[in-house]
Amino acid sequence: MGMLYTGNNPQVMPYRDEHLAMDFTQQAVVLDSERVILTRKEYDLLALMVQHAGEIIPREALLMQVWGYSPEIRTRTLDVHVRRLRKKLGGYADQYIETIFGVGYRFQPFHAPRFFQHIAAKPLMAMGA
Protein backbone atom coordinates (compact mmCIF):
# COMPACT_ATOMS: atom_id res chain seq x y z
CA MET A 1 0.00 0.00 0.00
CA GLY A 2 1.56 3.20 -1.10
CA MET A 3 1.77 6.22 1.03
CA LEU A 4 2.71 9.50 -0.37
CA TYR A 5 4.39 11.84 2.00
CA THR A 6 3.26 15.26 1.04
CA GLY A 7 4.92 17.56 3.45
CA ASN A 8 4.55 19.17 6.80
CA ASN A 9 1.18 20.32 7.87
CA PRO A 10 1.28 22.15 11.13
CA GLN A 11 -1.92 21.63 13.02
CA VAL A 12 -3.28 25.09 13.49
CA MET A 13 -6.77 25.61 14.73
CA PRO A 14 -9.14 27.23 12.28
CA TYR A 15 -10.01 30.86 12.90
CA ARG A 16 -13.57 32.02 13.04
CA ASP A 17 -15.41 35.13 14.07
CA GLU A 18 -18.66 36.82 13.16
CA HIS A 19 -17.64 37.51 9.59
CA LEU A 20 -14.38 35.84 8.80
CA ALA A 21 -13.34 32.22 8.84
CA MET A 22 -10.01 30.77 7.93
CA ASP A 23 -9.00 27.16 7.57
CA PHE A 24 -5.28 26.67 7.46
CA THR A 25 -5.34 23.09 6.28
CA GLN A 26 -7.57 23.84 3.33
CA GLN A 27 -6.08 27.24 2.76
CA ALA A 28 -9.56 28.59 2.62
CA VAL A 29 -10.81 32.01 3.62
CA VAL A 30 -14.50 32.72 3.90
CA LEU A 31 -15.99 36.16 4.42
CA ASP A 32 -19.69 36.31 5.26
CA SER A 33 -20.19 32.84 3.82
CA GLU A 34 -18.39 33.61 0.61
CA ARG A 35 -15.10 32.19 -0.41
CA VAL A 36 -12.35 34.74 -0.75
CA ILE A 37 -9.78 33.88 -3.37
CA LEU A 38 -6.32 34.88 -2.29
CA THR A 39 -3.02 34.56 -4.03
CA ARG A 40 -0.29 32.73 -2.24
CA LYS A 41 1.45 35.78 -0.85
CA GLU A 42 -1.85 37.31 0.20
CA TYR A 43 -2.74 34.11 1.93
CA ASP A 44 0.62 33.73 3.64
CA LEU A 45 0.44 37.28 4.86
CA LEU A 46 -3.09 37.00 6.20
CA ALA A 47 -2.41 33.61 7.74
CA LEU A 48 0.57 34.93 9.63
CA MET A 49 -1.37 37.86 10.96
CA VAL A 50 -4.44 35.85 11.88
CA GLN A 51 -2.32 33.30 13.65
CA HIS A 52 -1.00 36.16 15.73
CA ALA A 53 -4.31 37.94 16.09
CA GLY A 54 -4.14 40.83 18.50
CA GLU A 55 -0.37 41.10 18.21
CA ILE A 56 1.46 43.86 16.49
CA ILE A 57 3.73 42.36 13.88
CA PRO A 58 6.56 44.63 12.78
CA ARG A 59 7.17 45.15 9.10
CA GLU A 60 10.52 43.46 9.37
CA ALA A 61 8.92 40.38 10.86
CA LEU A 62 6.35 40.19 8.06
CA LEU A 63 8.96 40.74 5.39
CA MET A 64 11.14 38.13 7.02
CA GLN A 65 8.44 35.51 7.50
CA VAL A 66 6.51 35.89 4.26
CA TRP A 67 9.19 37.09 1.89
CA GLY A 68 12.39 35.93 3.49
CA TYR A 69 13.70 39.45 3.22
CA SER A 70 16.31 40.73 5.60
CA PRO A 71 15.73 44.13 7.21
CA GLU A 72 18.07 45.98 4.87
CA ILE A 73 15.88 45.39 1.85
CA ARG A 74 13.80 48.37 0.84
CA THR A 75 10.54 47.43 -0.79
CA ARG A 76 6.92 48.52 -0.92
CA THR A 77 5.57 45.11 -1.71
CA LEU A 78 4.27 44.57 1.81
CA ASP A 79 2.14 47.71 1.58
CA VAL A 80 0.81 46.68 -1.78
CA HIS A 81 -0.10 43.26 -0.50
CA VAL A 82 -1.79 44.69 2.57
CA ARG A 83 -3.78 46.94 0.33
CA ARG A 84 -4.96 44.08 -1.85
CA LEU A 85 -5.79 42.00 1.21
CA ARG A 86 -7.87 44.83 2.61
CA LYS A 87 -9.65 45.18 -0.68
CA LYS A 88 -10.58 41.52 -0.63
CA LEU A 89 -11.76 41.79 2.97
CA GLY A 90 -14.27 44.38 1.89
CA GLY A 91 -15.85 46.78 4.34
CA TYR A 92 -14.39 45.14 7.41
CA ALA A 93 -10.88 45.50 6.18
CA ASP A 94 -9.76 48.40 8.32
CA GLN A 95 -11.26 46.79 11.35
CA TYR A 96 -9.37 43.61 10.71
CA ILE A 97 -6.05 44.95 9.55
CA GLU A 98 -4.77 47.83 11.60
CA THR A 99 -1.81 49.91 10.60
CA ILE A 100 0.57 50.56 13.48
CA PHE A 101 2.37 53.60 12.24
CA GLY A 102 6.09 53.29 12.24
CA VAL A 103 5.93 49.68 13.34
CA GLY A 104 3.85 47.31 11.30
CA TYR A 105 0.38 45.79 11.18
CA ARG A 106 -1.99 43.97 13.46
CA PHE A 107 -4.92 41.68 12.77
CA GLN A 108 -7.77 42.15 15.20
CA PRO A 109 -10.68 39.73 15.60
CA PHE A 110 -13.96 41.37 14.73
CA HIS A 111 -15.14 42.32 18.20
CA ALA A 112 -11.75 42.91 19.70
CA PRO A 113 -11.77 45.85 22.10
CA ARG A 114 -9.58 48.69 21.02
CA PHE A 115 -9.04 50.40 24.35
CA PHE A 116 -5.45 51.45 24.15
CA GLN A 117 -5.05 51.98 20.44
CA HIS A 118 -1.37 51.41 20.11
CA ILE A 119 -0.41 54.32 22.34
CA ALA A 120 2.31 52.20 23.79
CA ALA A 121 3.58 51.32 20.38
CA LYS A 122 6.94 52.89 20.24
CA PRO A 123 9.12 51.54 17.48
CA LEU A 124 10.68 48.32 18.58
CA MET A 125 13.07 48.22 15.70
CA ALA A 126 14.57 50.74 13.41
CA MET A 127 12.58 51.04 10.23
CA GLY A 128 14.58 52.75 7.61
CA ALA A 129 17.01 51.88 4.93
Partner DNA sequence: GCCCCTTTTTACAAAGTTTTTACAAGTTAA
Partner DNA sequence: TTAACTTGTAAAAACTTTGTAAAAAGGGGC
The residues of the shown chain that bind a second copy, judged by CB under 8 A, are 1-10, 21, 23, 25-28, 30, 33-35, 39-40, 43-44, 56, 58, 61, 64-65, 101-103, 114-116, 118, 123-128
60 touches DNA (CB under 7 A): no
- Residue 125 touches which of a second copy, DNA, none (CB < 5 to 8 A by kind)? a second copy
Torsion angle in degrees (nearest 10) through CA of 103, 107, 108, 114: 10
* Measured distance CA(122)–CA(92) in Å, rounded: 26
| Closest alpha carbon to 97 in 35, 27, 42 | 42
Q: Smallest distance from the beta carbon of 69 to DNA, in angstroms?
A: 8
